[in-house]
Amino acid sequence: MTNISIEPLARAEAVFEFLGAYGLRLAKRHGPEAARGPYWSLRYEAPRLVVTVGYADYQFDVTFEADGQRVEYFYLDQHAFDRRSGYHGNMFPPDERLPAVIDHVADDIRSHFQALLSLDAKAWEHAVRIMKAPLVKKGLP
């Protein structure tokens, strides 16, 4: 194991601490493991909401689950917010850039996902609708 996989995990735990304001508590901390590349995850839980922050196989993911529905940060960022984050996917190498990505995503969630974190019914309905909508292929004109 290298220090590169430990630092992003500690960084994620620190910057996602704001989830506590929404009643979420760190319920599970896993990793880092290096069997198939760096792997780690954090699972925050509240009575009706689970937020998972994780990194595996070079993919950084943040998911939200409430009342049997699951939505993904990067999918919503792309399809609902026209890539407001500036990222065109969720694959990042486990190098010195990963902590900056973690910080940026946490800041975006803190700034723009309050309704989802507060379990606002309209926000969840909208997010789930986006997740379930068929993808429309954009072809050449």
Cis preceding-peptide flag for 8 (omega within 30 of 0): no
Residue 140 lies in a domain: no
Domain encompassing residue 29: 3-132
Residue 121 lies in a domain: yes
- The rounded percent of the chain whose pLDDT value lies above 70 is 87
CB 12 within 8 A of CB 54: no
Residue 139 lies in a domain: no
More confident residue, 141 or 20: 20
Residue 62 lies in a domain: yes
Residue 18 lies in a domain: yes
Model pTM? 0.87
Q: Tens of pLDDT along 18-62? A: 999 999 999 999 887 665 566 899 999 999 999 999 999 889 999
Residue 48 lies in a domain: yes
Query: Is the pLDDT at 64 greater than 90, yes or no?
Result: yes
- The rounded percent of the chain whose pLDDT value lies above 90 is 63
Of 31, 26, 64, nearest in space to 48 by CA: 64
Work out the average pLDDT over 82-90. 84
Residue 86 lies in a domain: yes
How many structural domains comprise the chain? 1
Residue 97 lies in a domain: yes
